[in-house]
């Protein structure tokens, strides 16, 4: 199988490296021949080390895509406007596509998958979600005899590293972010990760796979981790919980509930112990029950390893005659999922209120909660941080989101409340 590779960055370089390591093994052991026919990058400089090794190189992606000897385009360039054009051209030229581009799949999957289907081409994207965790293949193939009832995932390594260091060390959010940046686990501009956008792309893709419906990632509720304080982490510890940024999918009758936000997870849940840059996906299926997969969520070789798995799978399928791609037409907007509005969700809530005067305000807070039909499970007065400041932590029983939001707004309007109050949902 002849491959046209676009992108010579971290993952692209990793794919070339693994193919050099294992190409002979694939040939001898699997009878699969994977050959990089051409490598494309933006500049001659980026291509120079590959040219020096004898690879055919180009800076013209479209001419490579039109090369009739190439059967599959591997897109590892990042961004999405150019990849969208390249992949459209590849599919129109009858070429299969392997990509690690979650933003592209989340944003333009609804036009690319129907096009692939029309042209009898595969788009494989195991590397796009969870790096080395084979979650796409698991949902599509291994768990095919199941209906996925719910999914919770730790799907952004940057956020998980920050949350882990805030708990372990303990560091402040800012210090943990700085450490992540120094170690190369966070970008100079970390917005995309810490605001939950990357998690939303991946969660939308997983929710699509689980529901077999189009999920518009722009319609799902997203809260990042920037408002989580060391005090919240410490309070969670005292509740025998850990705070993680989760992507969540639930079936609720005919509708689905998809969201990304920090969660308090009980320490006896397997997800609570997935630390550092590791990712994890916890699924609950009708026949299988609960399953968890964890592994590297990003990085050169783990992500490249997922691309290689897609390439080997494609080669094995296409080598044995015509190959019918898995139906992905449900990424089509006409097949959109009905999303449960956030205000209709329910959870147990952790509230943290900061006040100057505990005695006066407690009656007001509990009054507002009561007016909003919120039952209190426990109240903890926390140690004073600054002189004259008191934290009050309230854990609620199961509450409707709209009531929680209304109560929080009313409490934040009290004169005695000195900072914006915190609200974090429990996983269960």
Indicate if 398 belongs to the active site: no
Q: How far apart are CA 236 and CA 168, in angstroms?
A: 12
Please say which residue, 312 or 342, places its beta carbon nearer to a second copy: 312
Please say which residue, 106 or 308, places its beta carbon nearer to a second copy: 308
Shortest spacing between CB 189 and a second copy, in angstroms? 27
Residues 27, 31, 32, 35: is their CA dihedral positive or negative? positive
Q: Would you state the torsion angle of the CA atoms of residues 358, 363, 365, 368, taken in this order, to the nearest 10 degrees?
A: -170
Shortest spacing between CB 139 and a second copy, in angstroms? 10
Shortest spacing between CB 178 and a second copy, in angstroms? 25
In 10 A of CB 18, how many CB atoms? 19
DSSP 3-state assignment of 302?
A: helix
Residues 226, 158, 240, 342: is their CA dihedral positive or negative? positive
Q: How far apart are CA 418 and CA 386, in angstroms?
A: 12
Q: How far apart are CA 392 and CA 323, in angstroms?
A: 61
Please say which residue, 126 or 193, places its beta carbon nearer to a second copy: 126
Please say which residue, 136 or 222, places its beta carbon nearer to a second copy: 136
Residues 343, 347, 348, 353: is their CA dihedral positive or negative? negative
Nearest CA-CA partner of 325 in 145, 141, 148: 141
Nearest CA-CA partner of 203 in 259, 141, 160, 158: 259
Q: Which of 95, 102, 167, 202 is catalytic?
A: 202
Nearest CA-CA partner of 206 in 331, 98, 94, 392: 331
Shortest spacing between CB 365 and a second copy, in angstroms? 36
Binding site for a second copy (CB under 8 A): 14, 18, 22, 26, 29-31, 126, 132-134, 137-138, 141-146, 212, 268, 270, 273-274, 285-296, 299, 301-302, 304-306, 308-309, 312-313, 316-317, 319-324, 326-327
Shortest spacing between CB 275 and a second copy, in angstroms? 8
Catalytic residues, which ones?
202
């Amino acid at each position: 199988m002849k491959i046209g590779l676009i992108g010579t960055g971290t993952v692209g370089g990793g794919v070339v490296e693994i193919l050099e390591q294992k190409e002979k093994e694939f040939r001898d052991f699997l009878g699969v021949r994977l050959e990089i026919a051409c490598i494309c990058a933006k500049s001659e400089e980026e291509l120079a080390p590959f040219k020096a090794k004898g690879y055919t190189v180009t800076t013209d992606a479209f001419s490579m895509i039109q090369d009739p000897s190439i059967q599959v385009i591997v897109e590892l360039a990042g961004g999405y406007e150019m990849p969208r054009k390249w992949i459209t051209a590849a599919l129109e030229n009858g070429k299969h596509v392997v990509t690690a581009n979650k933003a592209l799949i989340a944003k333009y999957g609804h036009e690319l998958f129907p096009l692939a289907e029309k042209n009898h081409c595969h788009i494989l994207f195991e590397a796009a979600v969870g790096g080395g965790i084979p979650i796409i293949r698991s949902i599509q193939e291994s768990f095919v005899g199941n209906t996925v009832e719910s999914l919770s995932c730790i799907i952004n390594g940057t956020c998980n590293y920050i949350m882990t260091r805030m708990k372990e060390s303990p560091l402040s959010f800012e210090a943990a972010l700085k450490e992540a940046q120094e170690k190369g686990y966070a970008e100079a501009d970390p917005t995309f990760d810490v605001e939950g956008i990357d998690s939303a792309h991946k969660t939308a893709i997983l929710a699509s796979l689980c529901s077999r419906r189009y999920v518009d990632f722009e319609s799902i509720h997203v809260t990042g981790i920037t408002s989580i304080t060391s005090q919240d982490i410490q309070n969670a510890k005292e509740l025998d919980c850990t705070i993680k940024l989760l992507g969540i999918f639930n079936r609720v009758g005919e509708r689905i509930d998809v969201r990304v936000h920090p969660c308090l997870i009980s320490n006896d849940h397997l997800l609570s112990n997935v630390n550092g840059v590791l990712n994890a996906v916890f699924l609950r299926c009708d026949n299988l029950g609960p399953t968890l997969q964890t592994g590297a969520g990003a990085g050169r070789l783990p992500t490249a390893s997922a691309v290689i798995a897609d390439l080997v799978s494609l080669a094995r399928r296409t080598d044995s005659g015509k190959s019918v791609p898995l139906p992905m037409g449900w990424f089509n907007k006409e097949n959109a999922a009905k999303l449960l509005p956030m205000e209709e969700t329910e959870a147990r809530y952790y509230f943290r209120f900061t006040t100057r005067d505990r005695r006066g305000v407690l009656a007001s807070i509990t009054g507002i909660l009561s007016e909003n039909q919120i039952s209190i499970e426990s109240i903890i007065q926390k140690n004073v941080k600054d002189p004259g400041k008191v934290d009050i932590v309230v854990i609620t029983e199961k509450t409707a989101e709209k009531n929680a939001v209304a109560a929080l707004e009313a409490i934040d309007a009290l004169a005695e409340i000195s900072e914006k109050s915190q609200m974090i949902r429990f996983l269960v």
